[in-house]
Chains A and B, each alone.
Chain A
Amino acid sequence: MKTWKEVTPGAVVTEPGSARKFKTGSWRAAKPVWIEENCIQCMFCWIYCPDMSIKTKDGKRVEFDYDYCKGCGICALECPGKKGKKAIIMEEESK
């Protein structure tokens, strides 16, 4: 940890992309769970996620990035699912 003599004036961050070191997943009280069989790959979750917690591969969504997901639940709310069955549900983190 830096001492007060070592901090950058004005708290300026000089290392690009260093926000990825600040893992905010521990803030989460509820966790989104992806049910792949109900997923139509509409990518609504990826668009609506206020962070970047929907990982993608070859243009499709894959598992959540739980290092940064704060559990806001927007993805679960926006998920249209398949035939009335949600592809994202929220579970309490303690479970």
Chain B
Amino acid sequence: MMGKRIAATGNEAIANAMRIANPDVCGAYPITPATEIMQRFTTFVSNGQVKTEMVLAESEHSAMSACIGAAAAGGRVATATSSQGLAFMWEMLFVASGLRMPIVMGVANRALAAPINIHGDHSDGMGARDCGWIHLYSENAQEAFDNMIQAFRIAEHLDVRLPVMVGMDGFITSHAIQTMEWLDDETGAKFIGEYQKVRPLLDIKHPVSYGPLILTDMYHEYRKAHDYVMSGVPNVVLDVAKEFEKVSGRKYGLFESYRLDDAEVAIVVLSSAAGTTKEIVDQFREKGIKAGVLKPRLYRPFPYAQIGEALKHLKAVAVLDRADCFGGSFGPMYMDIASALYPYAQKPVLVNKIYGLGGRDYMPEQAEYVLNELVQLAKGGEVKSFKEYIGVRE
């Protein structure tokens, strides 16, 4: 049942998940640090390992447009991008989700210009968080592979039919070689299954039109319908995860709770930084401090109720954001966690730390610094600042 244990980069993991899914069409444009995904995938195409029609577009806007056209035509579609590329797709991201196209896209999360920077940061994914796509975030190459495989099932589920982006940290995960376990090709392909077409353009016996003008009389209804479909996504994600566990032995939820049940203080953090944080939490536990971690996996739709329930008993929580919102406000995930906790009368003190922008290393000392502050806040200590940049030269 278990696949082979190998050493692979996050990009290699995503490219191989795409190979196993064997998409009908892939429209793509290369961008650091996601380039290796397409470099590897186009090799699979050239070697005849997949039957994919590869469309090498002149930009990411066109790449996503090609993906949308191919999905409307009735094909399974996958692609990958990063940073400026994701930003350049912005207009078409909304078209993909509004037309309910089950496109799957790997994203090596990277900072946005200016100043230009190629390294890991969540500014790209966070900027696209409300574009109607489903967002999954991955801590390492293993999760990137597993999420990518599951993403096809989630996107193509007949109750969903929405695009999914699978994030992993640029360079930190996309380029670092890690040990991980494949799903063997046959098991993976069987798990993903045959693509089910829904109202394909190429079914000329049942002609359809995509992309009509919808004005004041109906637009509001279409948006409500989209919101409703999104609300059912968490259950589908959990169902798919349960089936994935049967074939892989690996368990996934909407988020990962690490030593959280009896915790008094906790850090909420996405992707690769969660690994470092768990190490430091273990050290604090050895000192008798009840610390934990919550690592969101399904970021959109955000499981507000479930995360609220998981955090409400804590005394102090820090949300670590690897992106900032320049609205004079907080990081994007802090605002989500604050919303998740708002309904509760009893809730933890909640502070926001901005870390690791543009690939700045997130060091164990930073996790220690944050946990030490949370211990003080849990004892009733005064909040000096609700938002703070950590690891920055003052």
Chain B CB within 10 A, most for which of A1, A10, A12, A16: A10
Instruction: Say if the beta carbon of B198 comes within 8 Å of chain A.
Output: yes
Instruction: Say if the beta carbon of A14 comes within 8 Å of chain B.
Output: yes
Instruction: Flag if A13 contacts B225 (CB, 8 Å).
Output: no
CB distance from A22 to the nearest CB of B (A): 8
Closest-by-CB residue of A relative to B199 is A12
**Which bucket holds chain A's interface residue count?**
10 to 19
28 contacts between A and B (CB under 8 A): A1-B217, A1-B218, A4-B220, A4-B222, A4-B224, A4-B228, A5-B225, A5-B228, A7-B218, A7-B222, A9-B100, A9-B161, A9-B229, A10-B99, A10-B100, A10-B161, A11-B98, A11-B214, A11-B222, A12-B99, A12-B209, A12-B210, A13-B212, A14-B199, A14-B206, A14-B208, A16-B207, A19-B209
> Across the A-B interface, how many residue pairs have beta carbons closer than 8 Å?
51
Question: Chain B residues near A16 (CB, 8 Å)?
Answer: 207
Closest-by-CB residue of A relative to B71 is A10
Instruction: Flag if B209 contacts A13 (CB, 8 Å).
Output: yes
CB distance from A85 to the nearest CB of B (A): 38
Closest-by-CB residue of A relative to B210 is A12
Chain B residues packing against A (C-beta within 8 Å): 98-101, 161, 198-199, 206-212, 214, 217-218, 220-222, 224-225, 228-229
Per DSSP, chain B at the interface is loop
CB distance from A53 to the nearest CB of B (A): 18
Chain A residues packing against B (C-beta within 8 Å): 1-5, 7-14, 16, 19
Question: Chain A residues near B101 (CB, 8 Å)?
Answer: 10
Closest-by-CB residue of B relative to A3 is B221
CB distance from A9 to the nearest CB of B (A): 5
Question: Chain B residues near A8 (CB, 8 Å)?
Answer: 199
Question: Chain B residues near A5 (CB, 8 Å)?
Answer: 225, 228
CA A94 to CA B214, docked complex, whole Å: 28
Starting from the known contacts A9-B229, A10-B98, 13 additional A-B residue pairs (CB-CB under 8 Å) come to A1-B217, A2-B218, A4-B225, A7-B218, A7-B222, A9-B100, A9-B198, A10-B101, A11-B99, A11-B210, A11-B212, A11-B222, A13-B210
Instruction: Flag if B221 contacts A13 (CB, 8 Å).
Output: no
CB distance from B387 to the nearest CB of A (A): 38
CA A16 to CA B205, docked complex, whole Å: 11
Question: Chain A residues near B224 (CB, 8 Å)?
Answer: 4
CA A13 to CA B228, docked complex, whole Å: 20
